[in-house]
Structure 1
Amino acid sequence: MNANHIQSLEGYQSSRFLNRWLAAKSERLPSLIEQSALSMTKQDFAQILQNEIDSGAILNAAMRRTRNLVMASLIKRDLEGQAELHEVVTTVSEFADFVVQTHLQSLMEEMVTNHGDPIGEESGEKQELIVLGMGKLGGFELNVSSDIDLIFCYNEDGETKASGEQRQLSNHEFFSRLGKKLIAAISEITEDGFSFRVDMALRPNGASGPLVASFGMIEDYFLVQGREWERYAWVKARALTGKPSDINVLDKMIFPFVYRRYLDYGVIDSLRNMHHQIRAEVIRQETRHPDRGINVKLGRGGIREVEFLAQVFQLIRGGREAHLRDRSTRATLLCLAEKGILDGLLVDQLLQAYNFLRNVEHRLQYLDDAQTHIFPAKLDDQTIVARMMGYPSVEALNQVLVPYMQFVAEQFDAIFKEKSDNEEHQLDASTMSDQEAHENIVSHLQSLQFHDMKDVATRIATTWQSTKIQALSESTQQKMAGLINAALLTIAKQKEAQLETISRFLDFLEQIARRTAYLSLLTEFPHALERVVRMMAASDWAAKFLNRHPILLDELLDESVLHQVPDWIEFESELMQALQAHEGDIESQLDTLREYHHALLFRLLAQDLEGRVSVEHLADLLSKLADIMVEAVVQSVWKTIPNRHLERPQFAVIAYGKLGGKELSYASDLDVIFLYDDEDQEAPALYAKLAQRFITWMTTHTSSGILFDIDIALRPDGASGLMVSSLAAFERYQEKSAWLWEHQALTRARFCAGDHSIGEKFEQIRRQVLSQIREPQKLREEVIHMRKRMRDANVNRSKLFDLKHDEGGMIDIEFIVQYLILMHANKYPELTGNLGNIALLKRCGQLGLIDEKLANETANTYRVLRKYQHNIRLQGEEKARVAKEKLADVCMASLQLWSSLFSPEG
């Protein structure tokens, strides 16, 4: 806006409404000048109202006069550059709250005098009318000449507690009468005008529904009849009146109607259809009245499209992301930028456009205090609006207004435009179910130059003609057909495994067939669909993981986020905040843990499949993720223990095995033991309960899946031992009672989560035990004996090489490392460091404990075997086996090293 023009323009010379109001009484000008000197609050409204009442006006008249002064003051402040958009919309919204609350209090007293208090039949408590502000009132963004969208409701049915000459009414009748009186008090036009126009069309069942609804009626309506467009309306619902306890109950009913637990991309279609209807009506009106100017609210690129842009993300993500539940369009846009959902620069431009359009809208309304959003037909009036905006002419204003609206329209189209496929060759949903379906599909696959046409066609036809798919609606079938077409385009580029990929994709589609939000997501975001297909082509395990957790599809939308290195500090902070937000609701906390874990696991999986991380680095990342989840569970579970004597437990989780060695894979179990160091007499029982609940939280299957399987077999005395050991008892056991294989296991053990001081003491014990002097021959014999027992328990009868168990394989190499540590750590303390098998092998070579060249070659063997194992597991194979000829040369070093250490002649 041009500030120079504003400063030269007196506000009351531009608004016909304001001029008429001033001309009616000469004493209004001083009052206007006084009130417009500063912004107004509810205290100011109350004082102005009281002044009017003191002068002899009844409440209705006093309120209307207060309204006129408030609006006149806002017009003057706005047009003279003293107030910005935020002040204008906030002041009008707060005044609307004040009007509703003041009139309701007065009318309620009158109704109670005549009929008694309305009492809930179940609670026996006094009931109150809850007035919900919807739309811009709900979002504190009301226009200066807007109507107010209201909904009336109350908690419980029952009857009034009448006495004497009072006439008893049902609560429904009581509040219906009260609601009608409230509407009249606010909206009836008198010689002083009106306070606000009132629109009740958003209530359940609209104009045909009851004026007032009980909570029970609203809940039933949401469950049975609530439509998609009403979710959009109820996002902004805000209680202006009522008891906090009742409002809390109502909010809990509204939430599941408006928001979904999953990411609801199906809402894009609903809002798109709603927008089409609005635009069609605008076009009809423009056709009937071709002389009308631009509609800044409902026209293309108008205010409504900005609101839709903000609210579509609220409906998509608000069920999972609380920060997106703000009722304000402006606040929501800022949040979208802050969270990286929309580009920050784009949001800045949208807000500039939105503020400009809202200011234009206000100036259109300042002319005659009319609820309009359309430029007037008369050129003189258009010129006045332009001058109020600070521009010398309509042409000058349009040079700014039109580009803003074009920009909004472009951004709207980017999200809401219909997704169409322009390929010449398409499978049609209608032709995939008839008798010639197989031939039609084969023909289509030929056009795409598929290799396995007949097998792929059979697989598609079989899936499509299944009872599950045929039971879907026609629109859903068409969406699925479109997704299959798009997937085939990507799969056709593959040279191998076309049948496997389409089979995995069709299994996935069948899994999500009734979850239209997921189908919509893949339809609206083709790049996400392509990535899904590529992941399924690369990994059967990834395909099955996505089948189990389709909610993770959202992770595929943002390439930059998908490829980010994890910010562990931020991740842990967000996880703990989310858990604290659900404190007391264990089910929600279990789901939260799983959702956070699966989301980050899925990002790492995507990076892995694209070759962005090595097997070793991936294992480090997965181990770090597991550490964070274990810590979060320990701290959350402790808060559920009654009679706990400390804020934080003196308790630690010690990791063994793959987690201990930081070699975790996607589906690894967690081998752990539990230690405590607490002299309190109740400590053993408390920490045993903590450990039991820890295992339950980790292993329970919820709607979000499982977190980890837990193995505690490595605890002192194994299955017959206590679940939790004191630090002192653990030290005694390791020094006096532990078997050699337990000391072998200790080479890969480390503190994982809990009390760090216990972790430090554990590490001291561990290093001390590993550094004990051992008799060489006895140690060698025991290691050989233990290895033989393991090999006998895992006999490989296939012709393939077992990467773990066969001679020269991974376990042989791990035993070599453990033997070298137990043999030499007393002289070389650095060997007790938890460095991983590869680093420890190389270090032993550098120290001359084994041949250095052989050490390096064996380390490389271990790396190669891990990579083979990882790739095989990604294909969903349980046993990691490959053709022997592939590894004949690779394993020569590990076989030679084993022989040099353990053969009789070695």
Structure 2
Amino acid sequence: MVAGGESGSLLAEVKACTIWPLNKTEAKAAQAVLKELCRAEPELAAPLGEEAVNDFLTAALSLSPFLRETLTLAPHLLLSAWREPLPALLAARVEAARQSWRQGEGESPASEAEVMARLRLTKRDVAFLLALADLGRVHDARTTTLWLSRLADAAIAAAIDHLLVQGAQAGKLELQDLDDPSRGSGLVVLGMGKLGARELNYSSDIDLVVFFDPLAGRLKAPEDASETYGRMMRRLIRILQDRTGHGYVFRTDLRLRPDPGSTPLAIPVEAALIYYEGRGQNWERAAFIKARPVAGDIAAGEAFLKELQPFIYRRYLDYAAIADIHSIKRQIHVHKGHGAIAVKGHNVKLGRGGIREIEFFAQTQQLIAGGRMPDLRLRATEAALAGLQAAGWIDAETAEELTEAYWFLRDVEHRIQMVRDEQSHVLPSTEAELKRIALMMGFEGVAGFSAALEKRLRTVERRYAQLFEHEEGLSVDGNLVFTGQKDDPDTLRTLAKLGFARPEDMSRVIRTWHYGRYRATQSVEARERLTELTPRLLQTFGKSRRADEALLRFDQFLSGLPAGIQLFSLLSNNPPLLDLLVDVMAAAPRLADIIAARPHVFDGMLDPRLMAEVPTRDYLSARLQSFLSGARLYEDILDRLRIFAAEQRFLIGIRLLTGVIAGASAGRAFTDLADLVIAEAFEAVRRELAAAHGQIAGGRVALVGMGKLGSRELTAGSDVDLILLYEHDDESDESDGAKPLDAVRYYTRFTQRLIAALSAPTAEGVLYEVDMRLRPSGNKGPVATRLKAFRRYQQEEAWTWEHMALTRARLIAGDRGLIAEAEAIIADILGLKRDVGKVKADVREMRALIEAEKPARNLWDFKLMAGGLIDLEFMAQTLRLTDARPVRMGLTTAEALASLGTGRTRADDLDLVCRALHLYTELSQLIRTSIDGDFETEAAPAGLTDRLLKLADCPDMKALEGEIRQMSRAVRRVFQGLVVG
């Protein structure tokens, strides 16, 4: 073979090549065509009279209907192939294509129809000549692809020049030079993929992306730029790909532009740079490795690519890209016929061991190392493999094997396409048609061709697998591919094996992450970090009893995040924090729902001191004051309080979930938080009311916390029981503001506003649900109570159960003097000498009433069950009401039992009830933090049940339930002994 045909014409060079006709019938048909050509062009008699030339052409025309049809339409092509040297012949045709936009008939510019016809005829000529040269081994695949790429460059450039001139003639554009329209136009046309690498095949699409520089000053109406250039690009597609009587030039695809579903065909340069910087994906980085300016303003195109280099090639070794790029290739295998190596029906481009694997082998490593090794920034595949070898990235044997296989497969691809000029990469599935390809490749039959092809495919598959076998991002046993529109069957099997019940739904969810549809995944860096995390996330989620729900909570969390790079980078470098996040999603649905609905609460988890600092009152107070600093407006203060409370409740729950704090400590922390937040809301309401209505002479207000708020035992979802007390001068009739109110209405309004401030739903949520039924006369009494009336009611009208409730009262906000007075009144009430028998009888009656009206829902209803929290609280309250000794306010139930029970109950019984209270508190705090609603053993997240078992030191849930039953029976026995005696 003489490469390039430099020693003579094409037909002179094919003498050295032997190919065989498809069969005798096809050979006779080819001979008939050749004889007809001799009659039409007598000069062809000389070359066709040479046996070697005649045999070659007979075989070629029998194997390729496309060649036979073309020669019938244009016999002069064979004459040119005999007369002229091939390089000069091809160069002339390419130049003719490049100049096709110039003068038409007469003196007028070429019309669009003329440009289209010229380009199509030129493409036909070049394709015919190259096919003959390829079959005759005058050219190798390298030269063939180069000439096809040169032709495409010329055709695109000519079409662009034509369109720019047309735009100038229509008054849309002002060009620097009508004889060189593209120069300085600011219109950037980049060839991508095989066109960019100058590796086009016979029937390639040409992938283009088009940008324009609005500052180039060529448009007379810059505001119409997108419309003007978009219309121009639609015409470009028509010029190049519409089929006419002369065929087509190249199918043209502009879908590699940014976000093609929602962007115009031509995009401003600045907008494109912003997109790639913020949202560009790894597959786009891979595509731009081959990008090359092919038409329009070449200088502007080079400048654009230079500016894009930091996006394509990262400064540091970028191993994160490898999983993403690999997943693109593996996703291709979803399509039918790409699953295994074969010959019949195998896709030599996309199938296993095919051309795409060689391209990705090179491109992936270019992405990883190209930032630090500029010598690897090469467009062509063979050059990239050589560069990787020179850099020591791959060995010489690998480079040689892959290069040889690449061009062998490209030869096969070309022959598939030159049969009928069809865009296909799939080998025939029948023996007869496969024989055609084998013969075109120079093999005598299918067997030899099949063996040679399979050898290359297996070589490529082996080398490709070696590249990814140690890939950190895919440590899961099986595929995890989430690129593309369709599910990868192997990935679905992997997800099912990991523990997901609905793998198709989960695959669809995860694909959403990679499309950049969430704000948190719009940046390429964020997606890369998330790609790294995905296998570990899925493995950990899969261990949950309901992995699908946990993953969906994580997806909801992602959808609400304002940004992701900081979080994903942190999780990448902080495995314990990643484990914590997954634990939350898998073990604590309530916390997961909070994160999903209000992602800002997660910000607190980014504090590295989170697990080192216990949330004491001083700790919370300092952070609250800092958070409120600068807030002056009433609504702003309330919103900040809601944000702060939500975040800190969440973080207390996180500490509880992870065992950093115990249940009792969590109760105190939840209470300290409520105290601080309610006090701030109280003060904000007081100032707001005074601004509108003034003040009452001698007016003072105090807030009493009751129930679990009073005893410092709040849980994550507790409401708050409050009583508002006030006092004022007897002589004051009304407030002194612009809108005066009498005292009763004033403090009623105060209470109503406070309730609204705490419990009204807003965009930032609710602070606390408020319950005021423990005020004097309950729901029938006024919402605000004057201190004098409070004293009188407690002394003269209150029932035993109301005094029981008063044992947990604690003043949490308000005027210091009024607080002191209220505390003294409460101490006096609780210190009254009572009829012990009546108290116990009332307690028994009240407990029986509760059991009748609100029976326990199940064993896990620690509050209502017999021998549960109510029994323990009633015991502490009974001890308090029947003991005249002074006791400080605000004791927890455990503190009250320990303080009051000593000497009044048996030591063993006291130890028992304290142990039971501890168990109930630990379990209920964790459950209330982790889930909403009732706890059901079978429905509980596996992570939560594991933690409950650890807390109780039980081997399984059956043992824990047995422990609870035994403990509750013992508590009920002690309770009955106390209240009956």
Relative to the length of structure 1, the TM-score reads 0.49
TM superposition score normalised by structure 2: 0.46
Decide which structure has the larger Cα Rg and report it: 2
